[in-house]
Each structure stands twice: as C-alpha cells, then as structure tokens.
Structure 1
C-alpha cells in the first residue's frame, strides 16, 4: 500500500482524494493558512518558501514529481510556509483527517509515509552539507555528484533556471556561472545548455 497507488488506499480516503491543477506562479497554499490537506506532486514542480519579517523570500525546498509536501500539516494547525507552482503542475490532495486515520490503521501505509519522511531528512542533510562547503566550485561539484547519484548516471539534466539552482546552493548566479566555467576548464565537467556530464573526477 502506498499513497501514489490510489486503488490500494482505504476506500474512505480514496473517495475523498482530489486533483488540483496549478499554473506557473500560482499558490497552492499560503504561510499561515489552515492546514487541511497533505499533497503529492503528480506532475510539475512546487517551491516551498517562507517570508521573513522584512518580506524577503527564503526558498526551503523544491518538490518534484512523485514527492510529497506539507507533511507537517498532519501535525500542525497552519502551514508554516507558502507553496508556489514553479511550472504548470498537478497535485494530489489528501484530506488531513482521513489520511491520519488511514495511517494509524494501516501499518503498510504508515511505513510508506515514514520512508517519505526519511527521504526528506536525507535531502535536508545534503543541503546542509553543501552549504558548509566554502569554495563555490567545490560546492557545485558536490551538488552535481549528488544529482547524478540519485539518477544513477553521469549526466545531470537541468529542468530549472540556473538562477534558481544558484539560490538553492546559496550562490549568486554570477558565482555559479564562474564555478561552472572553472569546473569545465579543469576537465571536471562538459556541458551543453541544458545538461552537464561529469567526467572521471571525485566529488569535492
């Protein structure tokens, strides 16, 4: 039993699941909204952000296809962040109360949900590790290796603007561009406009 195989879910939950289509830039929910649902991105990409008291937007996470978002909604009264579609997207909407009941009563579903949380923790750990690498080109190289390992290949395809990837890495777009140039010059990578191929170089 898993959340993406809807036919395997308890009927009382399955019958209340909805699909929501979002256009690029559309909000799925706002920071402070009543937390009534959990979501899985079916297609597209959703960005989770928080706003500081000064109005600055801080990106917390980018959620891609088949990944969950707003897990905290199950244990909180309000959403702690804002969810914005980066591209046209479709999300699956799971009612909070019914999903919690299904998790409590179905060990297989609870295990699937815990596995999803573990993946999120691992992703967060990687992001923290990356931020601890001071040299921009080394930080970028480690990021590229992580991306390649997750796809079990040596090619990293970019489906997001480089400025967004730079923000994820805590770099300016200009610094990211210089880091790419250095890695290419040093023979660590070859690149086209939308992809990078890792050469036989260890991660930094």
Structure 2
C-alpha cells in the first residue's frame, strides 16, 4: 500500500500520511461516495475518471467537478462533515483515499506542506470558477475558445485526457455541436488539431 501510494501521489506528500492511504479500484458507474455520506477522506485519482454530481429537480445531474489521471478530488469536502454531492466513476479508476484527520494534522504542523496544499486548492478553485463562467457562455464557439485559452499550457497546447464525447460533456455541448465547432475553427486556422492534441494558432 505504502509503495503504491508513494509512487502515485505528489513527492511533497509526507510519508507518514501516505502510509494511511487506502487504494480503491472502481469500475465505471460505481460510486466513490454518495450525497450526505460522512466525509472521512479526500481522494487522488491515479487513473480513470470520477465526477462530482449534484442532483437537479428535473432528475438530471450537474457536474461540479471532474478529476482524471493524477488529479485530486473532493478536496473542498475536507471542510464539511458530510459529502455535498455524489461521486460516480465514469472511466475505470484507481483512486487513493486520503484520511481527512491525518491530512488536517499535517496541515496544522507542517508549514511547507500546508503552503503546497493551499496552492493546490487555489489552482483547483480557479479551474472550477473558469468552468462555471464557461457554462454561462451561450455560443458554442466562444465556449470552446474559452476552454482552450484557459486550460492550454504556455505553448497554447492542450491534450485531451478523454474522448471528444467526454470533452463535449465537460463543455455542456452536444457532441455533434463540438465536432462542428472544432472543424470550423480549424478551417479558419484558429486551431490545429491532431488526434487528442489541440493547438491555438
């Protein structure tokens, strides 16, 4: 358990916390946790994908967070006694459960770890705010460009971690609308697309 965790989690995670991590292998459509369950852990997704879902009155679900390979998940719930959403696996996943109690103890006594983890929370908050802002954009073209600008690296390159269908879901678009929009942007020389890699021109 310890060897697996130390290889998967960031190098700045304390060994004394790593030994307490539990590894889970979950299949597609399994739940990592459900709304109102006692919040005992936060999570690190080594492989696969998990989504935080909030039920809507019409029976659908809003995607609050989506984490895939080498990303943390449900970090905000460390400040709540119970989970505030459902967490469902959308691609077969390997996930490490990090106990909240041990994490809080290290945050209180390890300043360097506390600063690094705070930086992680700030970065993830920025991503969530960008996602919420993006979903308020009406035009598909503008929504796609917003994602590419906000999520691409310093070289204006983004590599999709999942299929275009998942990308469309992330953007709140129908797959056909996304395919058409990407094709139009490429014809206008605004992007170059090769497989899962998209470059802003």
Alignment RMSD, CA only? 2.2
Q: What is the match of residue 185 of structure 1?
A: 187
Contact residue 72 and residue 79 of structure 1 kept, 8 A: no
Unaligned runs of at least 5 residues, structure 2: 1-8
Name the SS for the 1:130 alignment partner.
Answer: helix
Q: Tell me which residue corresponds to 2:161.
A: 159
**Over 4 Å off, 4+ runs:** none
Does 2:90 align with 1:86?
yes
Residue among 64, 69, 74 paired with 1:70: 74
Residue matched to 1:202: none
Unmatched 5+ residue regions in structure 1? 200-204
**Aligned partner (choices 131, 134, 139) of residue 135 of structure 2:** 131
In structure 2, C-alpha distance between the alignment counterparts of 1:119 and 1:190, rounded to whole Å:
27
CA shift for structure 1 position 54: 3.3
The equivalent of 1:9 in structure 2 is: 14
**Deviation at residue 154 of structure 1 after TM alignment:** 4.1
Instruction: Return the offset for 1:44.
Output: 2.5
CA contact (8 A) 1:21 1:90 kept: yes
In the TM superposition, residue 75 of structure 1 has moved relative to its aligned partner by 1.8
Q: Aligned-pair distance for 1:118?
A: 0.2
**8 Å CA contact retained: 1:41, 1:92:** yes
Q: Tell me the secondary structure at the aligned position of residue 95 of structure 2.
A: strand
- Residue 10 of structure 1 contacts residue 102 of structure 1 at CA under 8 Å; is this kept in 2? no
CA gap 1:88/1:177 in 2 versus in 1, 3 angstroms: same
Secondary structure of the residue aligned to 2:91 is coil
Per the normalisation by structure 2, the TM-score is 0.83
Contact 1:36 / 1:73 at 8 angstroms: preserved in 2? no
Deviation of the 1:52 alpha carbon = 1.7
Contact 1:19 1:91 in 2 (8 A): yes
In structure 2, the CA distance between the partners of 1:10 and 1:104, relative to structure 1 (3 Å rule), is farther
For 2:78 and 2:138, the matched residues in 1 are separated by 36
